[in-house]
Structure 1
Amino acid sequence: MDVRPNSDEARDIAYHFHSYTNAEAHEKIGPLIIESGEGIHVTDSNGNRYIEGMSGLWSVAVGFNEQRLVDVASRQMQKLPYYHNFSHRSHGPAIDLAEKLIEIAPVPMSKVFYTNSGSEANDTIVKMVWYRSNALGKPEKKKIISRLRGYHGVTVAAASMTGLPYNHKSFDLPMEGILHTTCPHYWREGQDGESEEAFASRCAQDLDDMIQSEGPETVAAFIAEPVMGAGGVVVPPATYWEKIQAVLAKYDILLIADEVICGFGRTGNMFGSTTFDIKPDILTMSKQITSSYFPFSAFMINDRVYQPIADESGRIGVLGHGYTGGGHPVGAAVALENIKIIEERDLVANAAERGAELQAGLTDLTSHPLVGEARGIGLIGALELIAPEGKSGDFAPGKLGAQMNAIMLRNGLISRNMTDAMAFCPPLIVGANDVREIIQITKKSLEELAADINGAA
């Protein structure tokens, strides 16, 4: 990028330290500056328009210019722009939203605790699990099992549960007491001749073996996304969740469903837990809860989790945890209105219908020699790219994905490459014609990628 002095790009390079970015490379490349959004599209500072095929960061359910969310935020700003929930304080939006979340929960839940991001929610859950174990007189029951390639955030505890190397390298993570079991990606991890169900059984046995090795009395909880997001959009194999839950029940281990990406319609049900018949004790929510119009997150706990924590706070005199912005009245008001829009416009059903079209379109692209696998459910999917036959040594992990990502951007579609898996996660308002355009651009981009590779040969 040719960066002009004193331009927004130059000022960004000078002053802005970016998330999930190669900081050294950014000094040379500079940013893509997004200036406006409308529906499923965003427009950059040069007037280029893109389909936002990732909903921002898996998160804008109702599109980028929903006036109802703007209006409800403005009204709440005028009425009560801020208040907290420390020391028995509360406010209407926090109460209303908690009631609504309990009402729509996929399984019976007891209470809602508010935080500001998915990372904060999962970090807090770790503390609550430890607190509960102490309350139950089981101070040794503290270990938490996650999965390789799972994603649960970037705070110290949440990043430890995340099972991706770049979230650990040079951060001195994961911390002690966080373990990682098998990633349930059948295409990559399945053995020759192993059926999908047999692979699910092996995943469950790996978990059982880990618990036995560590000591069941030391393991407190298992955390997992219904469908893995940042780990490559990994849909679990048939019978996986049934078998995993049987193992957890055998050892009295809590199940934490991280619904930060799957929640609020993404998989074709309001929660991914419903899609896969998961019965969590704790459920994490963020991203689509406000369509990311306001930073906001929460988790729900059942009474089995809540009551010992409540009892322990009574013994100590206070629950010594909370956030200044937790349950922010503006965020809570936006979340309520966002959920209302999702329900009124039947966007969950739209996710199922348009999602079936998206999955069919991605599957059709597996005939291309650069595509190894298409996978997904509802409005979340991925294409796994593979090197041309006989040329795998020419492509380091992530090289194909980065090239494809740049071509797709040039063609007007924003995706995200997770190594060599191209992700698709459009807003829940996406239409049938939009889905067709996403597939057409992806197909065109694959052909251009193949031409680039052949031209360089």
Structure 2
Amino acid sequence: MVAGADGQALVALDRETQFHPFTAIADQQGNGALVMARASGSSITDVSGKTYLDGAAGLWCVNVGYGRAEISDAIHRQSLELPYFHSFNTVANEPSIRLSERLLKLAPDGMRRVFYGQSGSDANDTAVKMLWSYNMLRGKPEKRKIISRSYAYHGVTAAAGSLSGIPMVHQNFGLPLDFARHVSRPDFYRDAPARDCATEESYSAFLAQELEETILTEEADTVAGFIAEPVMGTGGVLPPPAGYFEAIAKVLDKHDVRLVADEVITGFGRVGAWFASELYGIEPDLIVTAKGLTSGYLPLSAVLVGERIWSVFEEASRDGRPFAHGFTYSGHPTCAAAALANLDILEREKLVERVAAMAPSFRSYFAETLLNLRLVGDVRSAGFMMGVELVADRATKAAFPASLKVAGRVALSARRRGVLVRALPNSDVIALSPPFVVTEAELSRLAETLRDAIDEVTADLVREEHL
């Protein structure tokens, strides 16, 4: 543990040295960083000694919980044997080979190969280039546009950031690049037209029609792919409405448009299945994974390549041309060793099954505790993903002005009470995604603390005459 004075020195040093992602510089300079020191299970402790219940599993990623010696030991052993070597020019290592075999066995049917990177962002860039290369090799070089959805989050690199549909990811960067297009998000609570979409199925048909109209407007011969998170995460925690992916698939198949499933969050058990594609009947051509692959212990991403795309690459390679894409750390042996140990834990402790079994109680804790609160408009979930939407008026679903930062205030109130939750960008939604080892008592505490935080912010808003 870092002593109090040393902890304060770290906060000061952080102000002077580090440029934080997704952080207002004025906030860092004014309030200082929350400096974490150690963690175990579902809890994490800062340098002052205060312990928090982590209701967000880091950034949706610490699936097996903190402090897993088995993963740390695997990292140590591998770093002594072969800490690093590249995977260019047909060079390989045992951990990445073993991991590839295992991932293909766990994946939905039809996946043929695995391509490694370090993050969800670079994995989505890889998926983009795979779609472009696939169509070039098929003699369709104009087929380059990729359709995403508003408020989607696919990363922040130039290509992945273009596919993301969150305004702050585009602002001040000149994004999106001209290959990216966006259609509506599947938000039945807020966006479904009341007159035409009384049911989830009719809303799904409405969204599929919008997608087809977009493809036709852009011209199908120029559209390469459609990318979607099975459950939208940062965009509001939005499970798909009933029949959504079935309706989408018909449109994509009709127009020779490939489907990319961004399972960076949902992969490896987050929704109570190894892959959400299986849960929702999705048959993707590419599956993008990261986060839960190592439970965040080391950075690693993987793109799973389906038969339709792999067969074109394989045939084209007969003339010796390489797929000229990759990273220094692609197939990193130590990261792969961490992933293998992580998968061992998930399988041995049946944690994916545990999520599926606990998902109803996870939802009930929050629905029963929060849905009668004045600020809570909606509680929605899939497995161990939940979104609590805060509204100014429950009857009309009216949102608060963004300047009030209501969700952020609730998250700060919860943090003062020793619980970490996430306020999502561009909407007043609180996201919860606890580690898979969370206990029933911890879930109850999460729900009760969030209720108390919402009550506190509600009282503040009344006092400020915003309610």
Q: Structures share a fold, TM > 0.5?
A: yes
Tell me what 2:422 maps to: 416
Once the two structures are TM-superposed, the CA of residue 393 in structure 1 deviates from its matched residue by: 8.7
Partner residue in 2 for 1:287: 291
Quote the residue 1:449 is aligned against.
Answer: 457
Q: Distance in 2 between matches of 1:5 and 1:269?
A: 40
Aligned 8 A contact 2:388 2:430 in 1: yes
Deviation at 1:4? 9.8
**Do structure 1's residue 318 and structure 2's residue 326 form an aligned pair?**
no
8 Å Cα contact 1:119/1:153 also seen in 2: yes
Deviations, residues 35-64 of structure 1 (Å, cap 9, x unaligned): 110100001111111111110000001111
> Any idea what SS the aligned residue of 2:208 has?
helix
- Give the match's secondary structure for 1:12: helix
Q: Which moved more, 1:84-93 or 1:357-366?
A: 357-366
Shift of 1:27: 1.6
Instruction: Tell whether 2:61 aligns with 1:59.
Output: yes
Using a 3 Å threshold, how does the CA distance of structure 1 residues 393 and 201 change in structure 2: closer, same or farther?
A: closer
Q: For 1:392 and 1:306, how far apart are their aligned partners in 2? A: 47
Question: What letter matches 1:208 in structure 2?
Answer: E
Alpha-carbon separation, structure 2, partners of 1:63 and 1:117: 19
Residue 380 of structure 1 pairs with residue 385 of structure 2? yes
- The correspondence of residues 26-425 of structure 1 with structure 2, limited to 5 A, is 26-193=28-195, 194-195=197-198, 196-315=200-319, 317-364=321-368, 365-387=370-392, 395-396=401-402, 399-418=405-424, 419-425=427-433
Partner AA of 2:129 in structure 1: K
Deviations 1:192-224 (CA, angstroms, capped at 9, x unpaired)? 242221111100000010011111111111100
Number of equivalenced pairs: 456
Alpha-carbon distance in structure 2 between the residues aligned to 1:397 and 1:406: 16
Separation (CA, whole Å) in 2 of partners of 1:233 and 1:394: 18
User: CA offset at residue 321 of structure 1?
Assistant: 1.3
Seen in structure 2, the aligned counterparts of structure 1 residues 106 and 398 have a Cα distance that, compared at 3 Å, is farther
1:432 is aligned to 2:440: yes
**How far 1:425 sits from its partner (Å)?**
0.2
Measured against aligned partners, the alpha-carbon deviations of 1:79-119 in whole angstroms (never above 9, x if no partner) come to: 11111111111010010000000001122211000111110
One-letter amino acid of the counterpart of residue 405, structure 2: K
CA distance in 1, matches of 2:298, 2:262: 19
TM superposition shift of 1:376: 1.1
Contact 1:387/1:400 (8 A) holds in 2: no
- Residues 163, 94 of structure 1: alpha-carbon distance in 2 compared, 3 angstrom cutoff: same
Secondary structure class of the residue paired with 2:132: helix
Give the whole-Å Cα distance in 2 for the aligned partners of 1:436 and 1:417: 20
Cα distance, 1:170–1:374 mapped onto 2, change above 3 Å: same
Task: Please tell me whether the aligned partners of residues 391 and 400 of structure 2 are also in contact (alpha carbons under 8 angstroms).
Answer: no
- What SS does the corresponding residue of 2:242 show, helix, strand or coil? coil
User: What is the CA-CA distance between 1:5 and the residue it aligns to?
Assistant: 11
**Is the Cα–Cα contact under 8 Å of residues 190 and 397 in structure 2 kept in the other structure?**
no
| Corresponding residue SS for 1:93 | helix
What is the RMSD of the two structures over their aligned residues, measured on CA atoms?
1.9
CA shift at 1:368, angstroms?
A: 0.7
CA contact (8 A) 1:135 1:311 kept: no
Counterparts of 2:90 and 2:281 in 1: how far apart (Å)? 36
TM-score scaled by length of structure 1: 0.96
- What is the CA–CA distance in structure 2 between the aligned matches of 1:177 and 1:18, rounded to whole Å? 29
Distance in 2 (CA, whole Å) between partners of 1:186 and 1:225 is: 16
Judged with a 3 Å threshold, the aligned counterparts in structure 2 of structure 1 residues 146 and 398 are, in CA distance, closer, same or farther, namely: farther
Shift, 1:396, TM fit:
2.8
Give every structure 1 segment of 4 or more consecutive aligned residues whose post-TM-superposition deviation is greater than 6 Å.
3-6, 389-394
Gaps of 5+ in 1: none
Distance in 2 (alpha carbons) for counterparts of 1:313 and 1:8 = 52
Amino acid at match of 2:354: N
Is the Cα–Cα contact under 8 Å of residues 228 and 261 in structure 2 kept in the other structure?
Answer: yes
Given the two structures, how large is their TM-score scaled by the length of structure 2?
0.94
Q: How far apart, in 1, do the equivalents of 2:283 and 2:391 lie?
A: 36
Cα distance in 1 between the residues matched to 2:354 and 2:400: 41
